Amino acid sequence: MSVTLNSGFKMPVVGLGVWRMEAKEIRDLIINSINIGYRHFDCAADYKNESEVGEALAEALSTGLVKREDLFITTKLWNSDHGHVVEACKDSLKKLQLDYLDLYLVHFPVATKHTGVGATGSALDEDGVLEIDTTVSLETTWHAMEDLVSMGLVRSIGISNYDIFLTRDCLAYSKVKPAVNQIETHPYFQRDCLVKFCQKHGICVTAHTPLGGGAGNVEWFSSVSALDDPVLKNLAEKYKKTVAQVVLRWGIQRNTVVIPKTSKLDRLKENFQVFDFELSKEDMNLINKVDRKQRTNQPAKFWGIDLYA
């Protein structure tokens, strides 16, 4: 099952995110995922595992496990490379062992001090606050992203972690419209206004952290997991599915793309088994009512500044 982007290319509605995946786990994770049926993989320079993903993809392609045209590979421009877009993209392509990307995203709407192409540093000042580069505008960055399309390095370009105002601005100054806005959204952080704004203007919303981050974000950011919500648990019993499957199905029926992450084989299979049932309109509305407006992914923990304040 896929959606057609405004660029004309199709993107599978379920993908696998590789954030916080250990390098030693990547090979088996990618190969197992392809065997299960995954074709969409969400990467980023900042995840620091593009080389390992590239090795796994090269193995899958060389052995005939999958064809390149059947894969959809996303990666992202890191904050410190906003002034070096073409070089950063080529660095990611080299690590991923690919000739082109299906989707390249601006990871965050902020340019920071350059630390070397592909180094993905987050330089902090003497007070421990992120060194923001005020000489590179988001418009400048976007026009460099557009160049990647004309160069044939990237098929579609998009944005990530942009709010309504920044998305509107990007629509205004872009020649090539953003095909995707990848944002955190899940039952406890639904962001319905942003989702609907993007969809109204032809931008596909990809939900990162579609399960609310699970145990990882509870540990890192002291967030509350939606997977323990009693309403969601009751619905899981009703449909004879897991809570995660119900949440992912809700995301798909909102017309968003979901990219859950896991390194466990049983969860990989579970997260992909969401096409054999449909939530009723009444149950969709039940889930809509559990929203807590609770962001679970908080980069301020590492940057010494809350960019969402």
- Catalytic residue, chosen from 47, 104, 162, 188, is 47
User: Distance between CA 187 and CA 8 in Å, rounded?
Assistant: 29
Of 32, 24, 1, 7, whose CA–CA distance to 104 is shortest? 7
Report the DSSP beta bridge partners of residue 205: 181
Whole-angstrom distance, CA of residue 223 vs CA of residue 230: 17
For 261-271, letters b (16+ CB in 10 Å) and e give bbbeeebbebb
Tokens describing residue 74: 């996303």
User: Sign of dihedral through CA atoms 279, 3, 26, 210?
Assistant: negative
Is 47 noted as a catalytic residue in this protein?
yes
Q: How far apart, in whole angstroms, are the C-alpha atoms of residue 253 and residue 164?
A: 22
Letter string b/e over residues 171-191, b meaning 16 or more CB atoms within 10 A of that residue's CB: eeebebbbbbbbbbbbbbbbb
Residue type, position 152, single letter: G
Structure-block tokens of residue 25:
């786990």
Please report, for residues 22, 49, 59, 88, the alpha-carbon distance to residue 25 in angstroms, rounded to integers and kept in the order given.
Answer: 5, 10, 15, 25
Q: CA angle, 43 as apex, 38 and 44 as ends, to 5°?
A: 175
Report angle CA 208, 214, 220 to the nearest 5 degrees.
Answer: 90
Does the annotation flag 107 for ligand binding? yes
Which residues are annotated binding-site positions for substrate?
A: 107
Q: Annotated catalytic sites, by residue?
A: 47
Which residues are annotated binding-site positions?
A: 107
